[in-house]
Amino acid sequence: MKPHSRRLTIGVVVAGMALATASAAHAEPPAKERPATTVTLVTGDEVVLRDGRPQQVRPGPGRDGIGFTVQRAGSHVTVIPEDVMAAVTQGRVDRRLFDLTTLTDFGYDRTGTVP
């Protein structure tokens, strides 16, 4: 290998190492899991969310035994109690009242807030 070509190779290797080190130094730390939040539905039921996904549904007072349907449409997640599903499907109750994505965007994932 000629001396000129050896210097070029060493220069490329050193530059590559410098770029790799700079990229690693500026890399974002791994994202920590956000704490769970709770959305209280108009029915009094509470939905526990983690990273925007329902983890648990706790029926409101006097609502034991009620089932819930989780629906996903695009980036939106809704949790609809079975006892209001017909009213929602028929358009008598607004589906947005159970849209967890919108409720969270509007700040209803805080304690003591009900839409």
Every domain of the chain and the residues it spans: 1-30, 37-105
pLDDT tens by residue, the chain, 115 residues: 555 544 444 444 444 444 444 444 555 555 666 788 999 999 999 999 998 889 999 999 999 999 999 999 999 999 999 999 999 999 999 999 999 999 999 988 875 555 6
Q: What is the pLDDT of residue 2?
A: 56
44: left (phi over 0), alpha (psi -120 to 50) or beta: left
Q: What is the pLDDT of residue 8?
A: 42
Q: What is the pLDDT of residue 100?
A: 96
Q: What is the pLDDT of residue 82?
A: 97
Q: What is the pLDDT of residue 51?
A: 86
Strand bridging mode 68-73 / 46-50: unpaired
Q: How is residue 43 written in tokens?
A: 């029915």
If residue 9 lies in a helix (H) or strand (E), which one and from where to where?
A: helix 3-25
Burial of 49 (0-12, 13-18, 19+ CB in 10 A): buried
C-alpha dist (Å) from residue 73 to 3, 70, 100, 101 = 64, 10, 12, 11
Q: What is the pLDDT of residue 35?
A: 80
For the chain, the first-to-last Cα distance in angstroms comes to 75
Q: What is the pLDDT of residue 112?
A: 57
